Amino acid sequence: MRVLSGIQPSGRFHWGNYFGAIRQYIQLQEDPQNEVFYFIANLHALTSVRNREQLEQYTLDAAIDLLALGVDPDRAVLFVQSDVPEVCQLFWLLLAITPMGLLERCVAYKEKRAQGLPADAGLFTYPILQAADILAYDAELVPVGEDQKQHIEVTRDVAAKFNHLFGETFVLPRAYVLPEAAKVPGIDGQKMSKSYGNTIEVFDDPATVRKKCMRIVTDSRPIEEPKDPEGDHLFQLYSLFATPQEREELAATYRRGGFGYAEVKRALAQKAAEFFAPARERRQELAAQPQRVRQILADGAATARRKAHEVLTRAQVAAGVFRSPS
Ligand code: TYM
């Protein structure tokens, strides 16, 4: 199975990124039947990050973070989106056949307009660049969080339209979303997202994680009162780090009552610090070897380009776009 996913370097990764996507990257890479491609979507990040040093730094940090969290360059092709220019060529072939209505329905653009904010054409056409990212590698499975499902549907629609117009060219991908981590809540209970300022970062030091955990919003019911764990975002966050048994124990404590949320927050912070400790250590080693990381990205880009070139050529021939013999 060909697996592909991308992640924006628009800041440091948070728990939503990890449980919603990165953890599945690692699991899928472990299956020798899978061929996996993971990339850092710096062209997408350009729609929000408008500072050169920052974008470069975030991109390198994203690579280091992914490697520290377990992406294995011997098993996964890891690269930076802009190192594969074929994707931008494919982007145009797809854009040329994309109905406006399809993009007008996309959430990121719609939300921005609803807030009365000006939107750039980049944000509007963003889902088609993502479609190009996916189709360029004949990807079949795309591990993502729930918020990206709509973009995978758009990818399928556009690919199907292209195939209909020009003959079978693209593989239709499907999203791989884990129900229990589809929408990781932030400290305020909404979806964890940089744009809501409610994130806890994977590589925050334990003291910062603890501080953020203590700020998780909870209701003000008294200690003695029994509480329902279902739908409680503190319980949901704890569950991400807990074994099934620990999860059940906490659920029973909730139902019994007689505890304070602060205890659960402290336990969560402790679990999170332990959970990410090995990755934090690996990250330190990798951060000291930026040349090695850049080499991994260069090797990944070379492999990715070979595949993307093949698919782009197929699409160009199908659409009748002239290509001089190379
Ligand atoms: P991005 O960078 O916003 O997010 C990266 C991944 O993290 C997931 N995620 C979450 N999952 C669960 N709960 C949350 N609170 C949460 N927050 C983020 C996202 O669903 C995503 O899987 N457009 C994409 C990047 C992209 C891409 C692609 C993805 C570009 N090209 C091709 C797949 C295939 C994005 O902005 O993800």
In this predicted structure, which of 73-87, 111-125, 135-149, 257-271 has the lowest mean pLDDT? 111-125
With a threshold of 0.95, does the pTM exceed it? yes
Contact 7, 41 (CB under 8 A): yes
- Grouping H, G, I as helix, E, B as strand and the rest as coil, residue 144 is coil
Active site residue 265: no
- Ligand 1 — pocket residues by CB below 6 A? 5-8, 16-17, 20-21, 41, 44, 130, 133-134, 142, 144-145, 147-148, 151, 181-184, 191-193
Tens digit of each residue's pLDDT (9 = 90 or more) over 74-84: 999 999 999 99
Query: Please, what are the domains in the chain?
Result: 2-183+289-319 (3.40.50.620), 204-285 (1.10.240.10)
Q: For residue 181, give the ligand 1 atom closest to its CA.
A: 12
Tens digit of each residue's pLDDT (9 = 90 or more) over 127-162: 999 999 999 999 999 999 999 999 999 999 999 999
Tens digit of each residue's pLDDT (9 = 90 or more) over 42-62: 999 999 999 999 999 999 999
- Evaluate if residue 326 carries a pLDDT over 70: no
Contact 293, 286 (CB under 8 A): yes
CA distance 78 to 296: 7
DSSP secondary structure letter of residue 143:
E
Distances (CA, A) of 83 to 246, 296, 297: 44, 13, 9
Active site residue 307: no
Contact 153, 187 (CB under 8 A): no
Residue 83 CB coordination number (10 Å):
17
